[in-house]
Amino acid sequence: MAETAAASTFVERAHKVLGNTKLRGNFRRAMDGLMAKRAAQFADIAAWKSLRARGAAAKRRVLARLPELLEQLEANCTANGIKVHWAETTHEANSIVLKILQDHDARTIVKGKSMVSEEMHLNAFLQKHGIEAIESDLGEYIIQLAGEAPSHIVMPCIHKDKGEIAELFTRHIDGQPYTEDVAELTDAARRVLRSRFAAADAGLSGVNFAVAETGTLVLIENEGNGRLSTTLPPLHIAVMGIEKLVETLDDIPPLLSLLPRSATGQSITTYVNMITSPRKPGEKDGPQEVHLVLLDNGRSRVYADNQLRDTLRCIRCGACMNHCPVYARVGGHTYNAVYPGPIGKILTPQLDGIAVAGDLPHACTLCNACVEICPVNIPIADIMVRLRREAVHPSDSPAVMGAGCKHTATEAAVWAGWKKMYASPALYRMGAKMMQRFGNMMPGGMPLLKEWTSVRTRPVFAKKTLHELAKEQGYSDV
């Protein structure tokens, strides 16, 4: 996978992965299973549409008042005893986390699953400053042993089969014999991680939803590692993107029903943690301090654009990846981004800029499968098309960094010619005649055809145009 990530473009990385039949098989089996489980959960289509409308409405309401509700969240968290920090960039967020840990002389932290911490590249940052971060989610623990990035936002090691995991455990866990028995592998990870929970100086988690009305942080998970990370160590740090907000507690039930059913086909996750304050006098467990780090990292810029802000509705269920025909064939590492799949194809170029991730919106067939199953009804395909357009013809909106950087004079001239020809019947007929006579003589390797014919058969122009055939059949060409 490291070789895949080292390739410079999505197309180059995809070519490498498409030759890996084992990896493709792992993804295909996993995606088929996840799609079947989700379909079983939402068998009642009318109920699904109603629930989806409630979830989408809750997120729309938040985005309509995001600045005001973020201030409300801060006020209520502070009143509850949670210390709130604001970070404009990932560097600021990392520095805030480091300062908190250094103030408490913390040398080890145990982490629950957090995609925002992946966005911050927090583990590597802390390691440079002498602080060890241990991933406690089983999937994250496995890829940490492998030295890899997550390939899926919900199931980070979905690209690995049990044989590969067994080899990793044998190599990295003292005394662990090779076994492909899933229960034994899980027990081995549990033995290692339990001791780390007990010894950690601090715990760090993500946040699925933060409730502005009450200052409550909601965290869902299946393994209990989230609860242990947020209650056993004396210090808990939660990190979240500013869009992970809901207005009231009443918004939580529909979203809790949508998220796990869309993600893994479960009716509800095993654990639902609602954190509203540090340990209070007389309570027997919980951290003595809770900190919340709110990360912007370009989200305010996205929020300022009326169309692109719909991206911020995402609840990170990963259903769009599970149903994407491109993701299912090339896997998550091919995107070379923290957020892969359809949501990553629209989110990453907006956060990192078109110059960095401008090829991702093109890694899409526009089949609309992601839009049909999105639990909060994000118009992913429309945003994908908008970003493709921004790459070559920037709009007046400053929301997309690097807009226009993919513009070329040749492509612009071709499209201008195409537009002029299709706007004039006379020019269209002339162009069709030219293609009819000389089109088949064009070599497939010529500049404008080379990339197209590298993966497709060169089209053969018919000897007669449709107009000529119609005329021969006696139809009027008026």
Token duo for residue 134: 């241990």
pLDDT digits (tens, 9 = 90+) for 446-468: 877 787 888 788 888 888 888 88
Instruction: Identify residue 165 by its one-letter amino acid code.
Output: I
* Three-state secondary structure call for residue 352: helix
* pLDDT at position 452: 80
Using 50 as the pLDDT threshold, list the residues of the chain that sit under it.
1-5
pLDDT digits (tens, 9 = 90+) for 266-290: 999 999 999 999 999 999 889 999 9
Closest CA relative to residue 308, chosen from 398, 245, 232: 398
Residues 303, 299: Cα–Cα separation, whole Å: 6
Instruction: Identify residue 134 by its one-letter amino acid code.
Output: I
Instruction: Identify residue 163 by its one-letter amino acid code.
Output: G
- The residue behind tokens 């951290």 is 287
- The residue behind tokens 């590492």 is 333
Residue 262 near residue 343, CB atoms below 8 Å = no
Q: CA 411, 416, 420 angle in degrees (round to 5)?
A: 150
